[in-house]
Amino acid sequence: MRKVLVLIEAKAGNLRGVSLEALTAAQRIAEDGEIIAVVFGSDAVHYANVLGKHGANKVYIIRNEELKVYTTDAYSQAMRQVIDEVEPDAILMGHTAIGKDLAPRIAGRFGLGLVSDVVDVQVEDGEVIFTRPIYSGKAYVKKKVVSGIPFATIRPNNFPVSELNRKIEIVHFYVEIKDLRTIVKEVVRKSTGGVNLSEAKIVIAGGRGVMSAEGFKPLQELADALGGAVGGSRGACDAEYCDYSLQIGQTGKVITPDLYIACGISGAVQHLAGMSTAKVVVAINKDPEALIFQIADYGIVGDLFEVVPLLTEVFNKV
């Protein structure tokens, strides 16, 4: 009977999809055991039923002025107190900006072995085995934690969201946050359009072939028609056609959408590192020799400025 602790994240009043996926991963580890969600903030109580629906047995709600805005210091202090209280057999969180920052800090403080960017979890012969990509997604490795309890961050869009409809117990947990070395005075958010790129099921990405910032407009229109997000290659970001927050690849975001449409992207290995695990890849490129066609499930040899508006027109009619 394992107890699994899952850090839940919310953004703009909505629970993040990857947090719900982490509950599914937790279910595989806990088996008949207990899944305990941890949520920070004053809205936390509103999420309790949704968390029960997706598999949590218990939710720890933590309200504290110092936790209103994320800082590594405050969140790791809070998580430390929750971990001491719950004494979990495993800990999971999303491989998000917060997860990537917080998990190593907690692992370091508790002496836990951390497996990051996990795409699969199984229990084999009673041991928790995590699968993660290596060599920029060219191979996968199975890992088990031998020092401390299993602890992992979960890559978005790799686990189904479960519907278990559990009755959830709510625990209001008080934490003491002290001696903070970082104070956030203001948060300035960049708008990147409606759908979150990291968790989007459909991504329309533009490369240097888009030619200008203006050239991204037809891509945004296609994304809107499909309910997807827009991304870019580093070539497009370097040329200032789009913001670096949209960069996909080895030095940008790693994404696993159901559908990835690459427009005017050549398919450099560093770009493929960020999107080759997409379930279906469509490439639009006017060069039939472009490398992207080697990994694409469907290829359209043509001018993106003709093909993309045609696709938008068709999808707007569906």
Instruction: Name the residue nearer to ligand FAD (CB basis): 16 or 208.
Output: 208
Question: Three-class SS of residue 169?
Answer: strand
Does 285 belong to an annotated binding site?
Answer: yes
Does 158 belong to an annotated binding site?
Answer: no
The C-alpha atoms of residue 125 and residue 71 are separated, in whole angstroms, by 38
Shortest Å, Cβ 212 to ligand FAD: 11
Instruction: Name the residue nearer to ligand FAD (CB basis): 162 or 247.
Output: 247
Which tokens belong to 112? 């836990």
Does 132 belong to an annotated binding site?
Answer: no
Instruction: Name the residue nearer to ligand FAD (CB basis): 42 or 251.
Output: 251
Instruction: Name the residue nearer to ligand FAD (CB basis): 107 or 265.
Output: 265
CB crowding 112-139: b at 16 or more within 10 Å, else e: bebbbbbbbbeeeeeebbbebbeeebee
Centroid of chain to Cα 41 = 20
Does 191 belong to an annotated binding site?
Answer: no
Amino acid, single-letter form, for residue 70? Y
Shortest Å, Cβ 258 to ligand FAD: 20
Question: Are residues 113 and 107 in contact, defined by beta-carbon separation less than 8 angstroms?
Answer: yes
Question: Are residues 57 and 35 in contact, defined by beta-carbon separation less than 8 angstroms?
Answer: yes
Does 208 belong to an annotated binding site?
Answer: yes
Shortest Å, Cβ 286 to ligand FAD: 4
- Provide Rg for the chain, Cα atoms: 21
Which tokens belong to 31? 């088996």
Which chain residues interact with ligand FAD by CB under 6 A? 207-209, 233-236, 247-252, 264-266, 268, 270-271, 274, 284-287, 290, 303-305
Shortest Å, Cβ 252 to ligand FAD: 4
Using Cβ positions, the residue closest to ligand FAD within the complex turns out to be 249
Shortest Å, Cβ 315 to ligand FAD: 19
Instruction: Name the residue nearer to ligand FAD (CB basis): 40 or 293.
Output: 293
60, 212, 304: which is closest to 292 by C-alpha? 304
Instruction: Name the residue nearer to ligand FAD (CB basis): 88 or 231.
Output: 231
In sequence order, the β-bridge partners of residue 169 are 58
The C-alpha atoms of residue 228 and residue 204 are separated, in whole angstroms, by 7
**Alpha-carbon torsion, ordered 143, 156, 83, 30, to 10 deg:** -70
Amino acid, single-letter form, for residue 128? V
Does 183 belong to an annotated binding site?
Answer: no
CB atoms under 10 Å from CB of 180, counted, come to 12
Instruction: Name the residue nearer to ligand FAD (CB basis): 82 or 311.
Output: 311
Does 250 belong to an annotated binding site?
Answer: yes
Does 267 belong to an annotated binding site?
Answer: yes
Shortest Å, Cβ 47 to ligand FAD: 33
Shortest Å, Cβ 202 to ligand FAD: 19
DSSP 160-210: PPP------EEEE--------S-------PPP--SS-GGG-SEEEEE-GGG
Question: Are residues 46 and 16 in contact, defined by beta-carbon separation less than 8 angstroms?
Answer: no
Does 121 belong to an annotated binding site?
Answer: no
Q: Residues annotated in the binding site for FAD, as ranges?
A: 208, 233-234, 247-251, 264-271, 285
Q: Residues annotated in the binding site, as ranges?
A: 208, 233-234, 247-251, 264-271, 285
